[in-house]
Amino acid sequence: MIELNSYTTSKGEVLLYNGEPNLDRLDALAEASGDLWHSALDQGFKNCFDDLVYQTAVYWWFLNDFKDLDYCVNWRLNAHNFVVRETIWNAMNGFDNNYSDDIIRGLDFGFNLIRNSGGVPIYVKGLFAEKQFDVSISAEDRYLFFLKNFKRHHSHYMMIRKGIFNLFSEYRALNKVSKKLERRQSEIIEPRPLNEIEGQPTVSLVIPTMKRQQFTELLLNDHNKQTYLIKEAIIVDATPKEERDEKFYNPDNFKFDIKVKWQTTKGSCRARNEAIELCTGDYIIFADDDIRILPDFVENHIKILQTYKASACNGLDIMALNVTQNLTDLKRILNELGKQRWKVGVSHMFSNANSCVKRTVVNELIGNDINFDGGYGEDADFGLRILKHGEVLLHNPFSPNLHLKPPVGGYRFWGNQSKVIGKKRKLQPWEFDKPVKYIRPVPSPTITYGFLKHFEPKQLKEWRIKHFFIYLFKGDKRTFLVRLLKLTYKQLQFNKSLQYAKRLIKLGSRFS
């Protein structure tokens, strides 16, 4: 049983620690976003436990540690050298002693803190001395971790991927720990009480839209009723000239400035970048044109960022059942969520439908990578770039939206061409001088581009293997032979996606 020392901050908060941290830094750290702090990346833990690739492949932002940062979100905790808020330690009931070694106990704690409990683990360079630890994990602890945290089939998949010559020893390890498995419920950490807004920060609202002027007006009217008014709404509208109606953006109808730019370029990434250039607020709220919001939406975005001293947050996105639902429906859905709604912590996604970012950070990142235009994945790319910049990206349950998702309009009007084959197809931005002919690339080349951009070759290889493994073996057994016959064509589609994505990689990130 691990015994921790305690430190009380100048504001009376108790922090627990193991090892010998630089105590002079703890007060400042406790005032910021983190719930737990360590220096494990300088102690042999960097990118350790890479077997996680067998569960997540390329679908989890935190599979790889962020490079060349002195302070960043990081879950790879060294159990022998860390600091944690006492409230967090108690809420999670400390380390899981079902494991045989402290190394995996620490990793399990950090993993659950970031992935399940809504906590914020932080790597801090120099908080602890740079000394190397033996970061080895036994096969039994590896399987125990998988069984505790993932569905059982991920353990079976890992066992297969370890190779035929290791099959017996891997099966024996899995079988042994299955008998002593004790699951524990992941406790959700209660959000901090939100502080009142300090000063008078200004807010810019960015809305790219196309063929949805009436829905954009609904959102602007919701902003008219906010308890904390935005300074300006920047609307980049790609509606064709013959379909435009400027009455929807009449400045006399709104309590804030309206800036409208009629878009002549193509793509939502370009639209947002053009809007960012016109923003003057301290914060930028990114919104889709088809959302509805409650009156405290803006106020709570600013409050959570100031309370946690963070630079970015991603709001709670609630999908409507149909376009006729309204704010009464949103309130009802939120009530039905109950306690499950109230989870803050590090966000595992980013949505341009509902997010708030300091303008200084947006400017440092320049904006959206326009290589994603004509496809999907720009949101995830921007969110991951925020984290790689050393910022904390929070999930914000206090600022929900109702996402109406109308069946027509929006920038997917262009993207719908991705399913068209042959002469009727309109060229997508990522096709350049190599138009798609008779083999449609799957997955979307922009999705593949995002994976190539952020993940390692070994992880990309595992993604491909798992992609086709799932295709063959997770479907209806009665149609297995049909899927097997289609496998060669599916491989051609995947290769075509890779070809387009590699061209985008060669081109490099672009912002205009």
What does the pLDDT read at residue 475?
84
Using the predicted structure, report yes or no on whether residue 413 has a pLDDT greater than 60: no
User: Residue written as tokens 């306690």?
Assistant: 339
Distance, CA of 139 to CA of 441 (rounded, Å) = 38
The pLDDT tens digits of the residues spanning 485-507 come to 999 999 999 999 999 999 999 99
Task: Using pLDDT thresholds of 50, 70 and 90, give the confidence band for residue 427.
Answer: confident
Residue 416, pLDDT above cutoff 90 = no
Question: Which residues share a beta bridge with 82?
Answer: 18, 38
The confidence score (pLDDT) of residue 138 equals 96
pLDDT of residue 415: 56
C-beta separation of 34 from 121 below 8 A: yes
d(CA 306, CA 383): 19
Q: Is 233 or 473 the better-scoring residue by pLDDT?
A: 233
**pLDDT at res. 187:** 81
Give me the pLDDT at residue 414, please.
Answer: 55
Q: For the segment 94-124, what is each residue's pLDDT rounded down to a tens digit? A: 999 999 999 999 999 999 999 999 999 999 9
Q: Which residue has the tokens 């492949």?
A: 57
% of the chain exceeding 70 in pLDDT:
97
Q: Which tokens sit at 393?
A: 């990206």
Among 191, 218, 195, which Cα is nearest to 207's?
218
Which pair of structure tokens corresponds to residue 377? Answer: 């994945």
Q: Output the pTM of the full model.
A: 0.94
- For residue 437, the model assigns a pLDDT of 87
Distance CA 106, CA 128 (A): 16
User: Comparing 81-90, 126-135, 179-188, which segment has the lowest mean pLDDT?
Assistant: 179-188
Q: What is the pLDDT of residue 182?
A: 81
3-state secondary structure of 107: helix
Residue 144 CA to residue 51 CA, distance in Å, equals 13
- Of 264, 221, 237, nearest to 410 by C-alpha is 237
The ranges assigned to domains in the chain are: 5-178, 203-403, 420-507
pLDDT at 309: 97
Asked if the model's pLDDT at residue 254 lies above 80, the reply is yes
User: 228 to each of 314, 365, 379, 416, how far by Cα in Å?
Assistant: 18, 27, 26, 37
Class level of CATH domain 203-403 = alpha beta
- Mean residue pLDDT across the chain: 94
What integer pLDDT is reported at residue 94 of this predicted model? 94
Could you report the per-residue pLDDT of 355-391, keeping only the tens digit for each?
A: 999 999 999 999 999 999 988 899 999 999 999 999 9
Q: What is the mean pLDDT of residues 25-54?
A: 97
Q: Is 268 a residue whose pLDDT tops 80?
A: yes
Residue 95 is encoded by which pair of tokens?
A: 């380390």
Q: What per-residue confidence (pLDDT) applies to 411?
A: 62
pLDDT classification of 409: cutoffs 50, 70, 90: low
**Average pLDDT, integer, range 203-208:** 97
Tokens at 471, concatenated: 């295709």
Average pLDDT over residues 217-229: 98
Name the 3-class secondary structure at 205: strand
> Per-residue pLDDT for 185 more than 80?
no
pLDDT beyond 80 at 237: yes
Q: Hey, which bits of 108-243 come out as E strands?
A: 121-124, 203-209, 232-237
Q: What is the DSSP letter of 346?
A: B
Which pLDDT band holds residue 202 (cuts at 50, 70, 90)? very high
DSSP 180: T
> Please, where are the H alpha helices in 279-403?
297-308, 327-337, 359-365, 378-388
Return the DSSP state at 64.
S
Compute the distance between CA of residue 326 and CA of residue 322 in angstroms, rounded to an integer: 9
Q: Average pLDDT, stretch 53-66?
A: 96
Give 285's DSSP letter. Answer: E
